[in-house]
Structure 1
Amino acid sequence: MSGKHPAPGLPTDERAVAWQAASLLLDYPDEILLSRLDLISSLAERLPGAVGDPLRATIRELESSSLPALQQEYVETFDTRRRHNLFLTYFAHGDTRRRGVALLRFKQTYLRSGFILDESELPDHLCVVLEYAATVDQRLGWGLLLDHRAGLELLRLSLADAGSKWLGALEAVTATLPPLRGDEWAAIQRLAAEGPPQEEVGLTPYATPAFDPVTLPMPTFPGARR
């Protein structure tokens, strides 16, 4: 992992709000999330436009549909399309044996902060990574996001091509990160052309974590414990 400190730009408190808001908006929609959209929107208004505007765009999209329709579209978006995968190691490793090592690195990073995830949650799910970065250890979380920047960008581009309701949340996340370098663009182009590796190794089924968005930017973190 890079271990780099967050670059200058957003203050740490604004970065935490942006990441936590995106984490909540990218999670499986339920009644609790819909009841908190006004709170998330009010906090997004305090962020710079490049970050706050796309967050509010996703909020407007979520507000425009019924909950059953949102849930169906969420499943169709993130559970049935390889390029819309919210599990960060999938873009680099697919369902190959190397992915198990990559997942272990996420767990080891969390352990450095005194966090242990329940076995029901995979540690590379973007919602988990964003909430960890926002509420537990911003420096180590920043490193995880940078290490998987190519996958994040491919996810953003894929959601843009699909006209997804959740595009704004991804745009907000990438807006908090440094500009892409040449080698990162090359990795994105390779991923776009080839897609993730497809060797099947029988990984356990993916479980999408659910969070309780009571307050921002310091919500509860089910599945993790000190």
Structure 2
Amino acid sequence: MVVNFLGNKRTSLVDAPPAVNVNEQQSRILWMSCAVLLDYPDDDFFTRLDAVEENVSVLPAEVAESLRTFVDFTRSHTLRELQTHYVDTFDQRRRCSLYLSYYATGDTRQRGAALISFKEMLAACGFEQSRDELPDHLCVVLEAAAQENESIAAQVLATHRDGIEVLRTALHARKSPYAHLIDALTATLPELDETTRERYLSLVTAGPPTEMVGQSLPFPTSEPEARS
């Protein structure tokens, strides 16, 4: 029996949350909140959590509820427990990759060109990356979308909606609280059109391209001990 990219014998899709009307300020707050909460929970994580909680009240109720659900989960766990869950979810499972170009290019030679495109996008936004991540990392793109004025990064999020949907479905399949953050994010993006939905279904069924190129292309392979 064929197992799909999400690791299931049957394709189990999770309906996208209804689109929520947000103004520019609310979009920026939501995207920055997701950026800091999707980052690795290091020693200042709970300080970042406090900052998010201070701004949740200005968001639409549907989006705010998703963030509060995630916050409630984190408040009930130790930092070490959160770190272990993060590594097991994002660092050890490609189907939960936070690297957007992976869903479109997989481990192929095209990944290098895709990373260059993301780097050029950040430069076009006037965004100076401070995170120690590749330019296609979701946290990097979200932070750029929250800070720049021409919505270039926001368009990139919409363009990679199929990959984001695969990530969201995979997180729901794992019953990870991080699914609530991706729910909140997708609620502020344009609704799925038929073409994007077909790409999403194809990714769930077959996964990204699989032409292997050894170690020549960067991909997150960090082990738990690699995190400090």
The bucket for the TM-score relative to the shorter chain is 0.7 to 0.9
The alignment status of 1:204 with 2:218, answered yes or no, reads: yes
Q: What does the per-residue CA deviation read over 1:6-35, in whole Å, with 9 as the maximum and x for residues that have no partner?
A: x99311111000000001110000231212
Identity over the aligned pairs, expressed in percent?
A: 40
SS at match of 1:31: coil
State which of 76, 100, 106 in structure 2 corresponds to 1:64: 76
How far does residue 187 in structure 1 lie from its aligned partner after superposition? Answer: 0.7
The residue type paired with residue 65 of structure 1 is H
Q: How many residues end up aligned between the 2 structures?
A: 202
**AA aligned opposite 1:144:** V
In the alignment, is the contact (CA less than 8 A) between 2:127 and 2:144 conserved in 1?
Answer: no
Give me the CA root mean square deviation.
2.1
Structure 1: gaps of 5 or more residues:
1-6, 209-226
Distance 1:138 1:85, change over 3 A: farther
Say which of 82, 91, 98 aligns to 1:79. Answer: 91
Please tell me whether residue 40 in structure 1 is matched to residue 52 in structure 2.
yes
**Pairwise CA distance, 1:50:** 2.1
The answer on whether the counterparts of 2:96 and 2:170 sit within 8 Å (CA) in structure 1 is yes
TM-aligned CA deviation for residue 119 of structure 1: 9.8
The Cα shift of 1:51 comes to 1.4
SS in 2 for 1:95: coil
Tell me which moved more, 10-19 or 95-104: 95-104
Deviates more, 1:179-188 or 1:196-205: 196-205
Q: Specify the alignment match of 1:166 in structure 2.
A: 178
Instruction: Spell out the pairing of 1:45-56 with structure 2 (5 A cutoff).
Output: 45-56=57-68
In the TM superposition, what are the counterparts of 1:87-166 in structure 2 within 5 Å?
Answer: 87-117=99-129, 120-137=132-149, 139-166=151-178
Cα distance per residue 1:91-110 (max 9 Å; x no partner): 11111111111111111111
Structure 1 Cα separation of the partners of residues 119 and 165 of structure 2: 23
Q: Which of these residues, 31, 51, 75, is aligned with residue 43 of structure 2?
A: 31
Counterpart AA for 1:147: T
Question: 1:74, CA displacement in angstroms?
Answer: 0.3
Equivalence for 1:3: none
Rounded to whole Å, the distance in 1 between the matches of 2:131 and 2:146 is 21
Partner of 2:24: 12
User: Mapping of 1:213-224 within 5 angstroms?
Assistant: none
Structure 1 residue 46 displacement after superposition: 1.6
Q: What is the TM-score normalised by the length of structure 1?
A: 0.83
1:187 aligns with 2:199: yes
Single out whichever of 70-79 and 38-47 deviates more from structure 2. 38-47
CA–CA separation in structure 2 for the residues paired with 1:100 and 1:135: 26
**Displacement, 1:205?**
4.9
